Amino acid sequence: MRRLLISIDMEGVAGVASTVSLVPSGWEYSAYRRWMTEELNAVAAAALEAGYDEVIASDAHGNAQNIDPDLLIDNVQLIRSWPRPLLQMEMIDDESVDACAFVGYHAPAGTADGLLAHSFSGTALRSIRLNGEVASEGYLNAALAGSFGKAVLLVTGDHHALADARRYAPEAALLVTKASFGFRSQMSLPPSQVRRDLRKSAAEAFAGLRGPPFVVEPLFMIELEMTSQVAPELLGYLPWIERLDAWTVRASFQTMAEATRFLTFVIFYQPNGQIPL
């Protein structure tokens, strides 16, 4: 069986603009959820037409229960909820997964005028670096995929997200879903029209020659600047984590999978086992 892994976020989906509606209590969340599901369907349909036997979709936003399963096309396996060891890229280590695509992605935390820009958790992390390089979600996920020999074939999102994607997937198909005027403002064509363009771009991406996987050489050094001083203080109690200053910790790993597991732990761990969303 030949599979494509699609990691799909919400912030880069056409029409999405409001922080309020990124969560289920938001007044427009139901529309955001539908647009996100339909963008996934557009890419999945192109993948199946290109010869993939199945698509694995990783819901990578918020509580990771945004995609509406009832609206999915056939032959799409949906990964939902947290925690997962490989975070937004669960199943990338499976031998049946041939390559991956990033849909609805956004720019990393600290990107000036990047729509809803953050890095995995805006409440926990101010910035992430991998071996000294600013690491967006796409950058880290591409490095993880590359460590398993898997290439990124398609990236979609606002134009700041795609500027970031050129660092880790320069030969991938890139589709701008909208223009970003600032952290909370965007301009886009109707979602239905963007989906038509998305399906076309995806078809071209899956039919053409692919670029090489994005490979970062080990060791994998993760540096986290956090939003509170207490979190790095507590992480610094662990002997293998170095506290660099009041806000920042650093740790090194032999594999990208280990680095991703560490990041998952930092974002989600609570003594009572409750997931902070």
- Domain residue spans of the chain: 3-119+136-207
Please count the residues of the chain.
277
pLDDT tens string 77-135: 999 999 999 999 999 999 999 999 999 999 999 999 999 999 999 999 999 999 999 99
pLDDT bucket at 275, cuts 50 / 70 / 90: confident
Q: How confident is the model at residue 13 (pLDDT cuts 50, 70, 90)?
A: very high
Among residues 32, 145, 30, 31, the alpha carbon closest in space to that of 98 is found at: 145
* pLDDT surpassing 80 at residue 149: yes
The dihedral region occupied by 4, where left means phi > 0, alpha psi between -120 and 50, and beta the remainder, is beta
Across 189-209, average pLDDT: 95
% helix, strand, coil for the chain, step of 5: 30, 25, 45
Sheet holding 248-253, edge to edge: 133-134, 125-130, 220-226, 248-253, 242-243
pLDDT of residue 208: 81
CATH 3.40.50.10740 fits 3-119+136-207, yes or no: no
Characterise 273 by phi-psi region: left (phi > 0), alpha (psi -120 to 50), beta (else). left
